[in-house]
Amino acid sequence: MVSSEGSGERLVLSDLLEPFKTSSSLATVKKRLNRIKSKKTVELPLNKEDVERIHREVAFNKTSQTLSKWDPIVQKNRQAEQLFSPLMKEQSAVAPIEHVLNGWKARTPLEQEIFNLLCKNKQPVTDPLLTLVEKASLKAMSLEEAKMGRAELQRARALQSYYEARAQREKKIKSKKYRRVLKKGKAKRALKEFEKLRKTNPAAVLEELEKLEKARMME
């Protein structure tokens, strides 16, 4: 029982439940509650930063899976003593002699004699000129020769740089020496002219000395 202040009337709790006493009212309320309960809440869309982060994670995982396929090959190349690119074209194999001589006819007695000697022994005719071991040795030798050629090229470039620097130094030395000699020659000529002028025209000598003194003071 609940009392309402100011009015002097009493409110009974059973009065509030009176509308729900009938079975039809209870069924209606249950249906409404079940309908509200069955509705799923709609999630808010992700913001731009979260979407970009998810895209980056997906791209990173996909790239990592693609690159992981090459891990065995990378590990094998790290342990190998020599590396041969799979894109490198195989060296053209030397054709057997029988293929070379097929359809060839001797035109001179000497060619006929050589042809007969080649055809007597069937081993070099039917077998290739280079075995697998010889081909591998040839490849290794080519690699070693390439390294030697690279070292020689570096040595040649170092020598070239050294000689160029030396030539520059010699050029500077010659240039300084030339200027020094030229300056000395000019001084000698000026001294001779001054002596000659002193004997012939002393007044001109004094005038020239005054000019030199003024030029020295201006410097």
pLDDT for 166-190, tens place per residue? 777 777 776 777 677 677 777 777 7
pLDDT at 100 over 60: no
Give the pLDDT confidence score for residue 94 in this predicted structure. 52
Determine the pLDDT at residue 135.
64
Higher pLDDT, 100 or 81: 81
97-114 mean pLDDT: 64
pTM above 0.85, yes or no: no
Secondary element (H or E) of residue 2: strand 2-3
pLDDT surpasses 80 at 53 = yes
pLDDT-above-70 percentage for the chain: 41
Q: Amino acid letter at 141?
A: M
